Amino acid sequence: MNVAILKWHRRLGLIAAVGVILSSVSGMLHPLMTRLQPAPAKMTLDYRLPALANAMAPSGLLKANGLTAISDLRVVSWAGRSYYQVTLLDGISRRYFGLHDGAPLADGDRKYAEYLAREFVGKHGAPVRRATVVDAFDWEYPRINRLLPVWRIEFDRPDAMRAYIDTRTGRLGTLVDRTKVFSSVEFAIAHRWQWLDPIAPALRIIVFSLVLLAALGVTLSGCWIYIARWSHSAASWNLRRVHRVWGVSISLVSFMFVLSGGFHLLHLGLRGDPGERFQLLAKRHQAAALQIAPLNAVRRAGLAAVESISLAQVDGRLYYRVQPAVDENAAAGAAAHQHGGHIPQGKVTPGQVAEPGAAVFVSALDGAVLPDGELRFAAEIAQSAGLRSASGKVTIVTQFDDEYGFAFKRLPVYRVPFAGGVTVYVDATDGNLAAVIDDADRAEGWVFAYVHKLEWLTPVIGTDWRDVIAAMVAFSLTVAALLGIAVYAQLFRSARSAIGKLSQKEKSWRQERG
């Protein structure tokens, strides 16, 4: 039996070795690469709309331009001018019209994207080499960035800096330079094996699962062999003994990484990402309902300074969602107090943001103010995930935590609890579902964070030392796999040598007989 287990250990080891080495090396390099990726000049942009006096009412402007229905309408400003930003029914195309004269702005969405990109990159003098719309995730702009569609603004710089910009909300998706591209592609190929996805959607899950099962079998059989051959372990040190001792010493972390990685792979592969499980269709709003001009909406809201004006639908009625501007002095103090210790290493999204003032909902038809409009809007968006009425209080979330982690990208969001342990997170800025999380998602998220990524070490020793320890663990797994390959190669050479000697003896014997 021990001989059979030893044979299977070697066979499974050959299957698992390549996967273990690729995953471990890429995991070991990942913390380093994230620290080398570009950081934005600003984490967020402070918007403050200028005076809205004499702004045209949207209904007449849209009718004059042949737009009877739209998906969204916002007021945006840059370069000293203000515009209506109109998102068409496809949810992607946008047109821009002067706020006061209604004049269309040619190529307005690209111009606005370039303005935002320069603000985030902080290099106003660098010319734009290329500007394209991205409506699907790829290896350079993976799913972790969440925002789509976005503009890809590439600057004419030695590092080929690209900024991915969501013009609808004025947010940065991510910054990418040559280093970041290498990191993203390397991690996608070596750690996630996404090169298998184009062949067949389920192939990556199947192949990766088989490799993880082989790695689990190697770990279990290796521990059995070490115990069964304990008497041999006392022999003199050689390559085989080094491999056994090293493998047993890291067997616990091998189990941790293999099982948690497999759980993560199967959970997301079979159930889907909680941040993408429910996709909302583009809204359809009748232009004729936009009878109130923005200035009147701001007056009805009773706000002295406004950050943004957009559309929102609650109970079938159309409203202006008027977001008050944060006091500049308070915002600066909050940023200094909160962001300094909460920006994850190498990330372009702050881990914590200042709590915004509550948006005021003003009817676009008659100017009536909707009480608790923001909470009602968040609850209605949450119910679009196919859930019944909320079972608890709607609260705002301004920092990532164990349940709503950094992978979901968006902040701030509203937390809407439902019966059965389901929680929906809503981004009221663009009326989207940021995440829909149930108990299974919480379990997988906890295992992945605390077992696979060793997040339990962060409060004790900090992010930097946690990453050092994680890299050392990944290195130890790589060494174990390389030692196994070396042992197999040694056995292979010995077998070939033995066969060669037998062939030589047989040849000599034949010569003697002949």
pLDDT value, residue 65: 92
pLDDT value, residue 305: 84
> Across the strands, what pairs with 97?
84, 104
DSSP state of 89: T
Cα–Cα distance for residue pair 272/457, rounded to 1 Å:
28
Q: Is residue 62 within 8 Å of residue 287, measured between CB atoms?
A: yes
Q: Is residue 121 within 8 Å of residue 163, measured between CB atoms?
A: yes
Q: What is the pLDDT along the chain (514 residues), one digit of tens a residue?
A: 566 777 777 777 888 888 888 888 888 888 888 787 888 887 767 677 777 778 888 988 999 999 999 999 999 988 888 899 999 998 889 999 998 888 999 999 999 999 999 989 986 668 999 999 999 999 899 988 999 999 999 999 888 999 999 999 899 999 999 888 888 888 888 888 888 888 887 898 999 899 999 888 888 888 887 777 665 555 566 777 787 888 888 888 888 989 999 999 999 988 989 998 888 878 889 988 888 888 888 888 888 888 889 999 999 899 999 998 876 554 444 444 433 333 443 444 556 777 788 899 999 988 999 999 999 999 999 988 877 777 788 999 998 888 998 889 898 999 999 988 899 999 998 899 999 999 999 999 999 999 998 888 988 998 889 989 998 999 999 998 888 888 878 777 776 666 666 666 666 656 666 5
Positions of E strands within 239-375: 285-286, 306-314, 317-324, 360-363, 369-370
Amino acid identity of 233?
S
pTM of the model: 0.86
pLDDT value, residue 337: 40
Helices (H), 82-153: 108-121
pLDDT value, residue 349: 56
CB neighbours of residue 188 within 10 Å: 18
CB neighbours of residue 196 within 10 Å: 17
DSSP state of 422: -
Q: How far is CA 209 from CA 3, 169, 205, 233, 419, in A?
A: 26, 39, 6, 32, 33
- pLDDT tens digits for 471-505? 899 999 999 888 888 887 877 777 666 666 666 66
pLDDT value, residue 294: 84
pLDDT value, residue 221: 83
Amino acid identity of 468?
V
- Please count the residues of the chain: 514
Amino acid identity of 430?
D
pLDDT value, residue 340: 35
At 469, list the tokens: 């320890």
